[in-house]
Amino acid sequence: MRKADVVIIGGSAAGATAAISCSRRNPGKEIILIRKEKEELVPCGIPYIFGTLGSPQKNLMPDTALLNHGVNLFISTAEEINREKQFVYTDSGEQISYDKLILATGSSPMVLQIPGIDKENVFVVNKEVGYLQNMLDAVDRSKDIVIIGGGFVGAEFADECKKNRDNNVTIVETRPHCLQLAFDDEFCLEAETSLTKRGVKIIANEKVEAILGDNKVGKVRLSSGRELKADVVIVSIGVLPNVELAEKAGLRISASTKGIVVDRYQRVRGDSNIFACGDCAMKISYFSGKPIKAWLASIATGEARVAAANLFEICYHGLGTVGVFSTQIGNLAIGAAGLTQRQAEEEGYDIVVGEAKAPSRHPGGMPGAVPTSVKLMFSKNDGVMVGGEASGGTCVGEIINVISACLHHSMTAYEVSLFQMGTHPALCASPIAYQMVNAAEEAVAKLS
Amino acid sequence: MRKADVVIIGGSAAGATAAISCSRRNPGKEIILIRKEKEELVPCGIPYIFGTLGSPQKNLMPDTALLNHGVNLFISTAEEINREKQFVYTDSGEQISYDKLILATGSSPMVLQIPGIDKENVFVVNKEVGYLQNMLDAVDRSKDIVIIGGGFVGAEFADECKKNRDNNVTIVETRPHCLQLAFDDEFCLEAETSLTKRGVKIIANEKVEAILGDNKVGKVRLSSGRELKADVVIVSIGVLPNVELAEKAGLRISASTKGIVVDRYQRVRGDSNIFACGDCAMKISYFSGKPIKAWLASIATGEARVAAANLFEICYHGLGTVGVFSTQIGNLAIGAAGLTQRQAEEEGYDIVVGEAKAPSRHPGGMPGAVPTSVKLMFSKNDGVMVGGEASGGTCVGEIINVISACLHHSMTAYEVSLFQMGTHPALCASPIAYQMVNAAEEAVAKLS
């Protein structure tokens, strides 16, 4: 039997981060990371295999950081956890004992339960090199691609599948807009315009009812009765936490979000030696404290760091999930942090909104300047910021993190309106027009 | 006599921001902005006239925002303030009465007191369209350019003067490194490497002692005796606050930094109807509370917003100057927020440093990925962050603002190591490798 101080199951964003973080915080502890795949994919990079990167091999997570931190890699599948004796059985017959165990088993794509879903050339977004290579080959050979679900993954796949190919790509989305769970309508519309410019067709308010064809997919039938030609179908309707191993070990699973129940220390209910983080773990909202569904690598890494910090001594309670997202559709970068206006109003907030738009560089004639918007939501009662959205140039990727930092400290519209930022002509908006500050100032005027 | 509720003197970053902010916060108030120039330049854009933009006309600040906010523009020079009767005399013979007055008179380039400084083709960086056009023409005709002073302005001018020109550009800097007042040595070295790659020569630890030639400059002589050919000399050794008007009105001037003495409300000492902001106003450090020299448009706009907020009722005290800077030299973006390691140690802090480097996009093969570093400084005693520096891709422009947001709330290494950020392959580093968080985690390990 192999012995380790810390065993981590799962090697994607959460598992790898937990391993590195644990090694930094606990030098000298023996850490074993068990993962299924010899080569681990960068999870958020998967859509980019289909256009920008061109192959799964170009989207691998290097093991360098793990190895540099002295983490021992075990390529096998964890089959069972013996909580009493504190060891993990693997499918290769290994028994690995742990002092502390971190579950980072991730999530798997949800499968649509409709007729024809088993046909050839119908894909979900599995995180496996071989599977994705087959999918890429099918996309390369295809003429008509139908993507079921217009969330982040669907929108990014649509964008990428159009790159360097003469094909038809259609997104079928059940909601009125793509990306509607993450953004307010005006931002969804911007993303849709960007997709449409790329040549992607969007069919909203529609369900796919059946996948038609002999062995291979030939068409999909929508609930309206309309049929679309399709030689490849990509199903991207969300994910479900991988909790079989945890369930088998008697750990509690959240009824509402299907994640392993954890406390604010990322410790599982009823076993102080086991932690869970990432897609497999239950999350609660930073705002309401209610369970939420938010499966993102960036969230996973945050939880992994909390888990690693608390392993041997509780020293940090997580804040709950702020929820910070970004993507790029065509040339449009778009991001959100915290609650959207719709979500905030659904929660019961009386909301004051501030908005500002300015070129991403200044003066507006600087090369690469792109109109960039920020929208901020504040509670009318105490002026505290509860969310922000941004769209425009690539700077949005970090603008949304500036907003996240303000959310971390419940900054008010007043405070944000006097925020001290740096700006430079080649990198940022003008300091006079800096969007976050001007949006906050607009909100201040409405609050007083 | 013309009457206004608020009179603002100066139309650059501070004045324009004060006007817009005042209009937003005080709808209905009559605001007059007095400025000298018919066309106002974007101050931080001035170096970019010499390469990227190509003309002063492409670096003008549009008056649209001012006019949309109902601000009345007066193009003339304020010559005197009558504090007792509360009006301003202009050189056009106008008297404008004020209820509240905001001084945003800016700064002027320091002149080097050496022989030959008056020769033709020796320039400072004046913020005037006509002057800069002449300077641009001279640069276009020149073969050998010597830039005296390797701060932000000098380094940016050097970079721009090399663009699309076959010339020799040399920076002469008295300190061991360019940009040394803003960055620690390793970042200065990166910037210098970037300048050198562009073909800029850097002569450090040297003073220019004299400018030689007949009417026109022909050479400069260094204190070592060495002579450099020069048909254009650009002097960029810093600025001095424009305080003549304030001095004439009997307002107090800081002995150490030469700015108009203001309190934390940006109100001048001894006259509650007058505020000052921007380069003309004294600044105190967010950290030590001591007067500091920091003349930047972004700082100016922050002070302008504080002044505007406090005009009719004190409602906000400024935090002091955090100091957030960024620039781009060649393809290298570089920024700093708060104290550098050197400054922190000079203040007396016992400092723990955390550093992390990762590609600006992920996986590293994503187009546009550039190695991007973050260095964070924390006080060893309480773990609170006191500064950060970053270099690499254009994302640095906003990364430095994420760091600024953390500084605004005295976040500890511990808190920053668990920061919740969003990341996306085309926009940011990997969430596993996100530089700010990893730098903080490295510091945590050293703190505990």
Q: What ipTM, to 2 d.p.?
A: 0.96
Q: Do A326 and B44 touch (CB under 8 A)?
A: no
Per-residue pLDDT tens for B118-129? Answer: 999 999 999 999
What is the 3-class SS of chain A, one letter each residue? Answer: CEECCEEEECCCHHHHHHHHHHHHHCCCCCEEEEECCCCCECHHHHHHHHCCCCCHHHHECCCHHHHHCCCEEEECCEEEEECCCCEEEECCCCEEECCEEEECCCEEECCCCCCCCCCECEEECCCCHHHHHHHHHHHHHCCEEEEECCCHHHHHHHHHHCCCCCCEEEEECCCCCCCCCCCCHHHHHHHHHHHHHCCEEEECCCCEEEEECCCECCEEEECCCCEEECCEEEECCCEEECCHHHHHCCCCECCCCCCECECCCCEECCCCCEEECHHHECEEECCCCCEECCCCHHHHHHHHHHHHHHCCCCCCCCCCECCEEEEEECCEEEEEEECCHHHHHHHCCCEEEEEEEEECCCCCCCCCCCEEEEEEEEECCCCEEEEEEEEECCCHHHHHHHHHHHHHCCCEHHHHHCCCCCCCCCCCCCCCCCHHHHHHHHHHHHHC
- The pLDDT value recorded for residue A101 is 98
Query: Strands of A168-172's sheet, edge to edge?
Result: A122-124, A232-235, A144-148, A168-172, A200-203
Residue A3 pLDDT exceeds 90: yes
Minimal Cα–Cα distance from A148 to chain B, Å?
A: 22
CA–CA dist B95, B86 (Å, integer): 10
Per-residue tokens: A308:
């690693």
Residue B1 pLDDT exceeds 90: no
- The pLDDT value recorded for residue A1 is 85
Give me the residue label for tokens 């962050």: B385
A286 to chain B: nearest residue by CA? Answer: B420
Q: Do A395 and B399 touch (CB under 8 A)?
A: no
**Among candidates A366, A420, A425 on the partner chain, residue whose Cβ is nearest the Cβ of B302:** A420
Per-residue pLDDT tens for A272-319? Answer: 999 999 999 999 999 999 999 999 999 999 999 999 999 999 988 999
Contact residues for B143 (Cβ-Cβ < 8 A; gap 6+):
B167, B168, B229, B231
Residue B314 at interface with chain A, using a CB cutoff of 8 Å? no
Residue B406 at interface with chain A, using a CB cutoff of 8 Å? yes
Per-residue pLDDT tens for B198-218? Answer: 999 999 999 999 999 999 999
For chain A positions 201-260, those within 8 Å of chain B (CB to CB) are none
Minimal Cα–Cα distance from A46 to chain B, Å?
A: 9
Determine the residue among B285, B360, B420 to mutate to test chain A binding: the one whose Cβ has the most chain A Cβ atoms within 10 Å: B420
CA–CA dist A8, A15 (Å, integer): 6
CA–CA dist A60, A63 (Å, integer): 9
Q: Which domains does chain B have, with CATH numbers?
A: 2-107+240-310 (3.50.50.60), 122-237 (3.50.50.60), 331-447 (3.30.390.30)
**Among candidates B300, B302, B424 on the partner chain, residue whose Cβ is nearest the Cβ of A326:** B424
**Among candidates A316, A397, A442 on the partner chain, residue whose Cβ is nearest the Cβ of B395:** A397
User: If pLDDT is split at 50, 70 and 90, which confidence band does A234 have?
Assistant: very high
Residue A448 pLDDT exceeds 90: no
Pairing of the two strands A95-97 and A87-90: antiparallel
- The pLDDT value recorded for residue B254 is 96
**Among candidates B17, B60, B414 on the partner chain, residue whose Cβ is nearest the Cβ of A316:** B414
Q: Do B53 and A418 touch (CB under 8 A)?
A: no
Average pLDDT, integer, range B272-294: 96
Minimal Cα–Cα distance from B393 to chain A, Å?
A: 9
Residue B329 at interface with chain A, using a CB cutoff of 8 Å? no
Torsion of CA A119, A121, A126, A128, to 10 degrees: 120
Per-residue pLDDT tens for A340-388? Answer: 999 999 999 999 999 999 999 999 999 999 999 999 999 999 999 999 9
Instruction: Give the 3-state secondary structure of residue B430.
Output: coil
Residue B161 pLDDT exceeds 90: yes
Chain A neighbors of B408, CB-CB under 8 A: 409, 411, 415, 419-420
In this prediction, what percent of chain A has a pLDDT beyond 90?
99
| A259: nearest Cα among A243, A244, A273 | A243
Residue B135 pLDDT exceeds 90: yes
Per-residue tokens: B35:
């400025």
In this prediction, what percent of chain A has a pLDDT beyond 70?
100
Q: Do B25 and A363 touch (CB under 8 A)?
A: no
Residue B448 pLDDT exceeds 90: no
Higher pLDDT, A222 or B315: A222
Per-residue pLDDT tens for B331-368? Answer: 999 999 999 999 999 999 999 999 999 999 999 999 99
**Among candidates B60, B398, B423 on the partner chain, residue whose Cβ is nearest the Cβ of A395:** B398
Residue B67 at interface with chain A, using a CB cutoff of 8 Å? no
Chain B neighbors of A65, CB-CB under 8 A: 432-433
**Among candidates B17, B296, B299 on the partner chain, residue whose Cβ is nearest the Cβ of A432:** B17
CA–CA dist A276, B187 (Å, integer): 39
Cis, bond preceding B371 (omega within 30 deg of 0): no
User: If pLDDT is split at 50, 70 and 90, which confidence band does B376 have?
Assistant: very high
Per-residue pLDDT tens for A49-94? Answer: 999 999 999 999 999 999 999 999 999 999 999 999 999 999 999 9
Residue A328 at interface with chain B, using a CB cutoff of 8 Å? yes
In this prediction, what percent of chain B has a pLDDT beyond 70?
100
User: What is the average pLDDT score of chain B?
Assistant: 97
Residue pairs spanning A and B at CB distance below 8 A: 304
- Angle at B60 (CA atoms; ends B57, B64), nearest 5 degrees: 130
For chain A positions 99-158, those within 8 Å of chain B (CB to CB) are none
CA–CA dist B380, B412 (Å, integer): 10
Minimal Cα–Cα distance from A84 to chain B, Å?
A: 31
A63 to chain B: nearest residue by CA? Answer: B432
Average pLDDT, integer, range B380-403: 97
B320 to chain A: nearest residue by CA? Answer: A420
**Among candidates B24, B59, B305 on the partner chain, residue whose Cβ is nearest the Cβ of A442:** B24
Average pLDDT, integer, range B64-76: 96
Q: Do A363 and B60 touch (CB under 8 A)?
A: yes
Per-residue pLDDT tens for B83-112? Answer: 999 999 999 999 999 999 999 999 999 999
Contact indicator for B397, B377 with CB cutoff of 8 Å: no
Contact indicator for B334, B327 with CB cutoff of 8 Å: yes
- Give the global pTM: 0.96
